[in-house]
Amino acid sequence: LRDPMNSFLTRVAGAVLAGSLLTSASALGIDTVTSSADTDGGDGIVSSAVGGVLTIDGTAFGTAKPKVFLLDEATGKKYVLKVTDFTDLQITAEIKKAVLGALTLNVQPKGADPFTFESVVIEAPDITGLFDELFDLEIDEATPGLPFYIAGEYFGSKKGKLRIGGKKAKVITWAMTGILLEMPKKLANGLWDILLDNKVGTDADEQITMFGSDVKIGNATLNLFIDGVKLKLKFTPGVPAGGHIVIVGVSATNPSKNMSMVVPFDVVNDTAPATFTNDATLLLTYTETGKVSGFQIPPVATWIASGVGVGTVQVDVNASSGGQVAGTVDAMLDLQFSTFETEKPPTVHLTGDFVFDA
């Protein structure tokens, strides 16, 4: 006869053994993933970039080299990593190609189905600061050809492209968290956008000021808009442009010139004289070219209506090196009644840009 107690113990032992096998099976695969490019490993997100090395810890990776790849679930495209070292418990692999966003990590032991890990996030490059060549001082300006560092994260290990003010910048060294480059030589003075493109993503949020350049910005021009509608006018420096605006160069033989912007008209009806409320203002933000030392940020000149029909904003121009002054115009012009019977015209938004040969 079968002993009931032995049968019970056998069943218990079998259940325990089965439970231990289930536990072991569920523990197989990827446990943790870290990235050499991740500067904030404590946020629970595995962030990386092309050139970043992933360290993958787990179990049952096998004794033969496994296949490691990132999968874009949206497109189904695979990005194979270069396995640089592996054991049954740990793999190191370098990201060679990828796209921005959250990708599923796959580790496929030889002859087995892949283990997956969600997810590895490929980040866009992020500039965090600009520094001098010695990396001692943070800077916001440079002279033509000056070497300086761009610091940040997720730049990638492959050299990308850098443009400042639309001009290509010479890259000396490129690394994941820092780039040594030279300020473009053929760039005019002014505050310019920096565009960093690592072929996976871009960062265009930073700017730097060029000073000490004698490169001209362009041909003399004037573009004006009222409430977004471009005005049709023929521009000649020093000559009223269609009754709308005038930029005047004063004392043509004097290297120290000045520029005046005058609004002596009713911009709605194109009549003169106009009278403005006392709080009507025009902001003129400008940059001067030429060998000007110590230039910091594009200055702003403010014109305030006097209420008598004519307002002038004047800018000093150092033209000893044959430079230019260029910038933008922004004005909210609130016109007054000319008579009690005249309906008050609306406030108009005058905007524009200009280049003036000093």
Please name each of the domains of the chain with its CATH number. Answer: 28-122 (2.60.40.10), 126-210 (2.60.40.10), 221-357 (2.60.40)
What letter does residue 20 receive in the DSSP assignment? H
Lowest mean pLDDT among 11-15, 32-36, 154-158, 342-346: 11-15
Predicted confidence at residue 14, as pLDDT, reads 39
Q: Residue 226 corresponds to which tokens in the numbers above?
A: 């009222």
Between CA 239 and CA 144 the distance in angstroms is 34
Predicted confidence at residue 340, as pLDDT, reads 43
**Average pLDDT of 54-82?**
97
**pLDDT confidence tier of residue 210, bands split at 50, 70 and 90:** confident
Between CA 122 and CA 134 the distance in angstroms is 30
Predicted confidence at residue 268, as pLDDT, reads 52
* Residue of 31, 154, 40, 42 lying closest to 98 (CA atoms): 154
* Per-residue pLDDT tens over the stretch 40-49: 877 789 999 9
What is the dihedral angle through the alpha carbons of 122, 128, 130, 132, rounded to the nearest 10 degrees?
-90
Higher-pLDDT residue of 62 and 223 is: 62
pLDDT mean across residues, the chain: 75
The residues near 262 (Cβ < 8 Å, ≥ 6 apart) are 245, 246, 248, 310, 311, 312
Alpha helices, H only, the chain: 4-27
**Average pLDDT of 177-181?**
97
Predicted confidence at residue 227, as pLDDT, reads 76
Type of residue found at 85: D
Predicted confidence at residue 22, as pLDDT, reads 29
**Average pLDDT of 338-350?**
56
pLDDT at 61 over 50: yes
Measured at the CA of 321, the angle between CA 318 and CA 325, to 5 degrees, comes to 50
- Residues 93 and 87 sit within 8 Å (Cβ to Cβ): no
Lowest mean pLDDT among 22-36, 117-131, 252-266, 283-297: 252-266
Ramachandran category for residue 315: left, alpha or beta (phi over 0 → left; psi -120 to 50 → alpha): beta
Residue with token string 């009222």: 226
Between CA 230 and CA 271 the distance in angstroms is 18
- Residues 133 and 156 sit within 8 Å (Cβ to Cβ): no
